[in-house]
Every structure is written in structure tokens, then in C-alpha cells.
Structure 1
Amino acid sequence: MSALGTRTRLGYSLGSFVTGAFGTVPGLLLLPYLTDTLAVPAAAAGAIVLLPKAWDVVFNPVAGRLSDADLARRGSRTRSLVAGGLVLAVTFAALFAHPGFGSVGADSAYVVAVFFLCATAFAFFQVPFNALPAELTDGYHERTRLTTWRIAVLALAILTSGALAPAITNGIGGVNGYRVMGVFVAVLIVLGTVAVILGIRGVPVSEPRRPTASWRELVATMRRWRSFRLLLGVYFIQALGVATLLAAVSYVARYVLGDAGYQSLLFAGFVGPALLVMPLWDRVGRSGGKLAGFRVATVALSLALAGLVFARALPPAMVFVLAALAGVGYAGIQVFPLALLPDLITEEERRTGEARAGVTAGVWTAAEALGLALGPSLFGLVLSWGGYVSSTDAAASQPESAVTAITVGFSLLPAVLVALGLPLLRREVFSSERKRRDRDDGKAVEA
């Protein structure tokens, strides 16, 4: 079961169009949609972005437990993937439909309610999607390869949704721009859902284990499982940093670089390198180990982001170069934690004899969702502290303090957050990884 075919790798990876679109577009556009179209104050808009995502922290582990139970009964996680993906598509289109109730409070309440539905549907897709690598293959290096394929497609998905969604919004303009963009992203989500189901169809998975007997037992396991908690901590704080950066892109294009059209180019410059450097990170993981590669990628991303603090003084071309260098590190911090996760799950399932993939993926995605939600909220606070002026006019002038706040929120703040993950990459994770790598290499030699 170690080696996977091209159809399976590609089919599974295409599910990243679902995770990439929903993980990217709200972070890019929901905050400016609220502040510059619905005229919601910046601090309140940040809270609106946070609240539905915070629900995932509670619900995703529940979705993981339900997914494990469904796997035990049916031998497949397909039902949850299909339902979650299709419902997400419908609710995402509704999120940016702009109900036009005539008051900021009513329109804001609508956004909160629909975003709650989006977050719930996304949990039913993302949790089993993240659980699958631990079940599709038990090969240490094959999991790295599967993850590099997934992140390469994720980069394409992020480029497609993250670059075209703002282009559609800005090209059409106003409320109609957001509405058309919502439908466009919904179509991408449907296509990604169908692709992943077709890709994994007929592929045998590891023998389903019995679900955890009780929540108390599961909590006790998480408390003992230090390697997972350390890896989860790194992933959360780095997701927070990246989300803060993404929330700032629209504002940087308009108020730092002086051209809203730079938004798509800046975003593409950050994400695009992942399409080119995946083979490099795969080789780094094979030669030096996943944890060493994770550390190198973290340092690279932090340094490049710190350099963007000079964005106001640099020509736009140089800003794009620094964004591309940051993108090389960003690709690495996406690959290595997701490649390490199934190895930790496998070790824990062998130790306990119980299913861990679904519920672990639930906890993992809960932390990711919280980080992605807190990022725009944190940036909203930065805008508020800088005196950002919310308006229905996206071209409204801003005070100098607001432009400075935008620059810092785009560069130094995410750089520090990403770098804070380094102290958590300790030997507990490394020792588990080394044993797993040595065992898998030994099997390859025997073969």
C-alpha cells in the first residue's frame, strides 16, 4: 500500500481547490468587503471574520469523530466529502451575495450567519480530506510525495482563486463584482469536490480501526501526545502569520503601492513559486528529513517577510521579488507539517489500536481555522490602531498612521509570528520522524 498511482495522487490533490479557495478568498476579500462595501468599522469587521471560524475550533473535532465513525461503518469517508463540498459551494456564493437589508447591522448579521454555515460545511470536507493521507499509504517518502503534489495543486488553486477572485471583484466593481466572484469560487469548489471523489475511488485504504471509546480518553491521549501538540502549535502560529499577511494584500496594493491592480500580481508573486519549488522541497525532505526542511523553510519565509517592511520605499518590482522569495519559504511550511502529520497518526494508532486519523485531522483543522480567522481579525485591530477610515468608497484617503500600520501588518508582524514556530520544532518530533524514516528506508533496501 506504500506506492500510489498518478491518478490517485492527482485526484486527491485536486481536492485542494476546495481547501485553497475557502482558505484564501475570505482571508483576502471578506474584510475589505465588510469595511469598504458594507461600511462596517474595521474592529467590528475583524470580529465578524473571526466568530464563524472560531466555531470550527469546537466543531471540527466533532466532525473528525463523526468521520471516524462513518469510516468504521461504511469503510469510506466519501459521504462526508461530497456533502461538505457541495453545501460549501452553495453557502459560499450566498456569503458575498449582499442581501441589501438597508442597515449595517442587518447586513452584518447576514454575513455572520452564512459564514457559520460555510465553516460547518467546510469542516465536513476538510477533516476527512486531511485524514486520507494516513490511510491511502503507509510509506514515509510516499507521504512526502503525495503532500508535495497536494501543495503544488494547492498553490495552483490559491493562484486561481486568490488572483482571479480580486480581479473579478475589481473588474466588475461594487456589489455585482462580489456576487459574480462568489459564484466563480463556488464553481471551483464543486469541481474540486468531484475531482477528489473520482481520484480516490477504488483505492484501498488501511483497515478501519475502532473509534475512540470516549471523549475523556481522547483528551487524555492528546495530553500525552506531545509530538502532535508541538507540531500543531507550529502550524497554528504560522497559519496565523500567513493569514495576517493575506488579509493585508488588498490594503498594501491600494495604499502602499498605490494601485489596486497590484493585488493579484502581489498575491501571485507570493503563491506562484510553490509550483516551481515543490521538487526542491521533496528532495530536501528525502535527504535531510522533513523536520530539517521545515526549519529551513521557516527561516526563509521569516527573513523575506521582514524585508517587506521597506515596501513603501522600494519600487514595486522589488516588492514582487521579495514576495516571491517569501513564497519559496511558504511552500515549505505548507509541505512539511502536512507530511509529518500522517506519520504521527500512524505511530499513535499503532500504540492505541484505535482510530486517530479523523479526530486528529479535526483538531488539526480546528487549529488551522482558528489561525486563519485570527489573522484577518488581528490585522483588523492593526488597522484600527493605525486609525484606518472605513468607508463605502474603496478609494478613500487614509492617514499616514494607517499606511504605516498596513505596512507593519504585512511584513514584520507575520515575520515574527512565523519565526515563533521555530522553538517548538523540538527533538520529540524529530526522534519520531527519524525512526519512521529509517524504518521506511530499510523496507526500500530489502525490496
Structure 2
Amino acid sequence: MDPEPAGVTPSAAPTPVEPLSPTVRRGYALGSVATGTFGTVPGLLLLPYLTDTLGVAAGLAAVLVFLPKAWDVLLNPVAGRISDRSVSPRGRRRPFLLRAGTALALTFALIFAGPSAPVWLAAGWVVVLFLACASAYAFFQVPYVAMPAEMTLDYGERTRLMTWRVAVLALAILLSGATAPLVVNAVADAWSRLAGYRVMGVYIGLVLLVGVIGAYRGTRDAPDHGVASPSGTTREQLRLVAQSRDFRALLTTFVLQAAGVGAMLAGVAYVASNLLDAGGADSILFVAFVAPALVVTPLWERFARTRGKRAGYLAATAFLGVGAACTFVAISGSAPAAYAAAAIVGIGYAGAQVFPMAMLPDVAADDAARTGQNRTGVFTGVWTAGETLGLALGPGIFGLVLALGGYVSSRDGTAEQPDSAITAIAVGFSFVPAALIALSVVWLLRYRLDDRALRVPAPRRTPDQTDDPKESR
């Protein structure tokens, strides 16, 4: 049965809540250093690593990139269920951040530390280590994404918390996505391309570790408004979660958009090396894609306060889709035009991160208020499984488009490409993502939980109150 309208559910009743302290907001946001980095770098560099360094055929490389992520689709709901039932004096979710996050950093570095020949052995190493890395990420990401619904009961506070998170997420994506190719290229110029990827793997592993430790320490004083863990089997809980109409609509929207963004990320290196005649085009194109988020993220939050999250998500999706279609201009070889189109994508991308991340806790909290059971971990497990599927489908789809276009793989990245491959790169980078994003609008229009009655008024604060709830008591 679908959930009742938001205006008549128990979650709509005003509840006195205290704002989260700036320390907790910043601490939680640091976890996005890990999620943003891992969500970006494999999608950006793993496919070209396989095709242009290890010499794996484009079609096979697409499958190899997809399979470990597909495993997470099954694992993430299990990770959510386990974290729902976890009991620890350090918090229900926090121990997962440290343990799984440390494993994530280590296994990521090892992905690029394997043999380079023969091709079957090199490819096998990548698949096994990427599978281990994706598994560790599941047990970090799912508890991390589940925390906001338990940290605060306030509708607006969740948006503010997500705004902090997305700001850090944008910085992390910008830092990792722009510098990872620079590290590869710098080391490649001095030694070899293979050495460049190995150094990059260690560098990104350290970046991941910074986000892991920051989130673990920063949330040690976070409130916990969690309710009783759900009873029943994992299958029963998944069935109950699947009955939420709003969750289905939101998840499908996000998965389709993640696939579109994933295809664009996978195409950056190929567009830079085959379409744009400009030095450092891969890093510049990526910066043009991400940098606008640093400016517009607060504006999207303001939009949500006045127009609602759903309306904001629709507006952001429009920017995302139009910008994606405009990037086809890269086939002309004009780097400035490609950068401008990427900037339009970036404006939409910021909102397409802020709004669904703020809407998911609303769905989970509404379910908890109606049922009295905490299925937050199950919701976020399914959610992150969907996100993982989308980000895996993106590079997979792009790789298949390359294969259909006759892309020629090599061990040094210097193979001359036929005209059909050049066209495939441009189409896979622009019109394919744009089509996926346009399709997502059909599902976003079905989301109905964004009702003003759902909003819980923020507590009034006297002039002598501080931002820290502990100090204001």
C-alpha cells in the first residue's frame, strides 16, 4: 500500500527540535570527501585505464567496470539491514564508517597496483580488487547516508545538512576529479603511464582516508533520534520499502540521472584526448563540470526554502539535461564551447545532488513515523544500491557506445581512431546522458511527499543561544 499523503501522517505534526551544531554539520559533511572521490575517480579513470593502458577491448572493459558495481546492488540492502540492527556505544552507524572506510582506501590503492600483462591477468586483478573495494564502499556509504534521518527530525534542517554535505561533495569531486588525471599525466611524463596510475591510486587512497576519519570523528556528538530496529527478514523489509510510491519515484529518478552523469564522467578522458585540441583538457573539462556547484549550491537551498524540494529538483534536472545535450559541441573541437556546456551541466548537477539527498531522509522519516520502526538503513541500502547501479551503468553504456563505434584500444593510448569512434565518443558523452536525464523527469513528477505540511518548524532561538545545542541548554 502506498504511504498516506504527507499532510495526514504523524510525521506532519510539529515537533520541537534543536538545530544541529556547526561542528556536527561539518563533521558529517567530511564523509562526502570519501563518497565524492570514490563516486568520481573510478568512473573517470578506470575505463581509460583498461582500454588505453592495459589494452582491454572497449566492450569487455565496459563489462569489467560494470560487474563489481552490480554486485553492490545486491550487497547494499544487506549492509543497510546490518547497520539497522547494529548496537554500539559509539553510535549505531559510526563504527561502519571507520572500519569499512579504511578498507575502502586500501583496496582502492591496490586496484592499480597489479600486473600489466598478460591482459587476462591484469584485467582479472582489476575486477577482483574493484569488487573488494566496492564491497567496502557499500558498508561505508549505506550507514553514512542513513545517518541524517536519525540525526535530526526537522525537514528544513535536513536540507541545511545536505547543503553542507553537497558543498564538501563538490569540493571533493573537484579536487579528486581534477587532480587524479594530473597525477597520472605528470608521473607518466617522468616514468610511465602505468606508474602514473599506481601513484594516483595511492594518492586517492589517502584522500579517501581523510574523509573517512573526518566523518567518524566529526559525528561523535551527533544526536540519535533512531527508533526501534525493524523486525522480519531482509526480504520482508525490502518488500515494505518497495511499497512506498514516493521512494520508488525518487529512486528511479536518481538512478537514471546517475547513469547519465556516469556516462559523462567516463567520457571526459576520451573527449579530451580525441575531440579537444587543448592541453590539460581533461582536467579543465572536469573543473568546468564541477566548479559551478561551489557557487550555486547555496542558491539551490534558497530555492528549496521558497519553492520546495521537488520544484528545485525539477529545475536542476532541466539544467542537467540541457547542458548534457549541449556538450555535443565538443565534436567541433572547440574547447571553450565544450567547457561552457559543461558548466551548464554543473549548475544542474549541484541541485541534482542537494535535492534527492535531502528528500530521501524525508521519505525514511515519514515511514518511521507511520510504522514506529526504523527502516532507514533499508531505505538507504536500496538507495545506494540504485546509485551504485546508475554510476556503473553510465561507464558501461559509454563503453558499449565506444565498442559500437569501433573504438581501437591500445597499451599506450595513441591508437588512431576511425570517424565512427569519434562520433561515438561525442554521442555517448552528450545525447545518451541527455536522454536518460529526460526520462527521469517522468518519474520525478510522480513524487508527492514534498508537501508544506511535512515541514517541521525550526525551533525559535533567543539571542543568547549559540549554534551548539549542548551550550544552549
Task: Decide which moves more: 324-333 or 252-261.
Answer: 252-261
2:113 corresponds to which residue?
Answer: 97
Contact 2:329/2:337 (8 A) holds in 1: no
Contact 1:249/1:267 (8 A) holds in 2: yes
1:36 corresponds to which residue?
Answer: 52
1:282 corresponds to which residue?
Answer: 301
1:132 counterpart (143, 147, 155) = 147
Task: Decide which moves more: 379-388 or 305-314.
Answer: 305-314
1:239 corresponds to which residue?
Answer: 258
2:269 counterpart (250, 269, 292) = 250
The amino acid of 2:452's aligned partner reads R
2:387 counterpart (351, 363, 368) = 368
1:166 corresponds to which residue?
Answer: 181
- How far off its partner does 1:116 sit? 0.7
Contact 1:349/1:355 (8 A) holds in 2: yes
2:163 counterpart (148, 160, 165) = 148
Contact 2:227/2:368 (8 A) holds in 1: no
Determine if the alignment matches structure 1 residue 420 to structure 2 residue 439: yes
1:355 corresponds to which residue?
Answer: 374
2:216 corresponds to which residue?
Answer: 197
Q: In 2, distance between residues paired with 1:73 and 1:219? A: 27
2:321 counterpart (274, 288, 302) = 302
- SS across alignment from 2:216: helix
Structure 2 segments unaligned to the other structure (5+ residues): 1-16, 463-473
1:434 corresponds to which residue?
Answer: 452
Deviations 1:279-311 (A, max 9, x none): 100100000000000000001111111111122
Deviations 1:148-207 (A, max 9, x none): 111110010001110100110011111110010000000011110110111111222104
Q: In 2, distance between residues paired with 1:79 and 1:195? A: 13
Q: In 1, distance between residues paired with 2:287 and 2:205? A: 20
1:7 corresponds to which residue?
Answer: 23
Determine if the alignment matches structure 1 residue 122 to structure 2 residue 140: no
Count of matched residue positions in the alignment of Structure 1 and Structure 2: 442
The amino acid of 2:52's aligned partner reads D
The amino acid of 1:269's aligned partner reads A
TM-score normalised to structure 1 length: 0.96
After superposition, the Cα gap between the structure-2 partners of 1:400 and 1:255, relative to the gap in structure 1 and judged at 3 Å, is same
Task: Decide which moves more: 34-43 or 64-73.
Answer: 64-73
Deviations 1:226-281 (A, max 9, x none): 11011000000000000000000000001010346200000010011111111100
Q: In 1, distance between residues paired with 2:146 and 2:384? A: 10
2:429 counterpart (406, 410, 413) = 410
Q: In 2, distance between residues paired with 1:168 and 1:180? A: 7
Structure 1 segments unaligned to the other structure (5+ residues): none
- How far off its partner does 1:220 sit? 2.9
- How far off its partner does 1:212 sit? 3.3
Q: CA RMSD in A?
A: 1.7
Please show how residues 23-102 of structure 1 align to structure 2 within 5 Å. 23-71=39-87, 75-100=91-116, 102=117
Contact 1:212/1:355 (8 A) holds in 2: no
After superposition, the Cα gap between the structure-2 partners of 1:431 and 1:204, relative to the gap in structure 1 and judged at 3 Å, is closer
Q: In 2, distance between residues paired with 1:311 and 1:330? A: 19
Contact 2:363/2:449 (8 A) holds in 1: no
Q: In 2, distance between residues paired with 1:67 and 1:154? A: 23
Deviations 1:363-400 (A, max 9, x none): 10001111111111110100001110001121221011
Task: Decide which moves more: 72-81 or 264-273.
Answer: 72-81
Deviations 1:59-112 (A, max 9, x none): 100000010111488742111111111001110000011323x31111111111
The amino acid of 1:50's aligned partner reads F
After superposition, the Cα gap between the structure-2 partners of 1:326 and 1:425, relative to the gap in structure 1 and judged at 3 Å, is same
Determine if the alignment matches structure 1 residue 400 to structure 2 residue 405: no
